[in-house]
């Protein structure tokens, strides 16, 4: 899956997670901070992770919420995960 595709799907998940931050999500970039720029709480982060697992069919293992600071960090993680899936 291309990086742009992952980013767009992630944006959709963020919309669904908390629609009160719709404007911030629409204008966000990979450098956007998940907590300060996109307004995600720790529960919001967990909700996002569960939604990602469902959408992308991946499993977040040995990670904690502080491992993901920006949207780019999540995209990186998913890019690696989907690459791993392909090589298996």
Considering only the stretches 4-12, 17-25, 30-38, 74-82, report the one whose residues sit in contact with another protein under the rule CB under 8 A.
Answer: 17-25
The number of residues that bind another protein (CB under 8 A) is 21
- Which residues are bridge partners to 70 per DSSP? 33
Q: What tokens appear for 39 in the block?
A: 């307004």
Closest to another protein by CB, 54 vs 83, is: 54
Q: What tokens appear for 83 in the block?
A: 């690459």
Q: Tell me if 17 contacts another protein by CB under 8 A.
A: yes
Where b means 16+ CB within 10 Å and e means fewer, 16-33 reads ebbeebeebbeebeeebe
Q: Tell me if 41 contacts another protein by CB under 8 A.
A: yes
d(CA 39, CA 42) in angstroms, rounded, equals: 10
Q: How far is the CB of 83 from another protein (least distance, A)?
A: 20
Q: Which residues bind another protein (CB under 8 A)?
A: 16-20, 41-47, 49-50, 60-66
């Amino acid at each position: 899956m291309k990086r742009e595709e992952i980013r767009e799907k992630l944006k959709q998940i963020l919309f669904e997670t908390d629609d009160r931050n719709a404007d911030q999500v629409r204008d966000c970039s990979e450098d956007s901070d998940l907590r300060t720029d996109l307004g995600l709480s720790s529960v919001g982060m967990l909700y996002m992770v569960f939604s990602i697992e469902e959408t992308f069919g991946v499993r977040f293992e040995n990670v904690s919420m502080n491992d993901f600071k920006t949207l780019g960090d999540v995209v990186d993680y998913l890019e690696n995960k989907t690459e791993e899936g392909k090589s298996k």
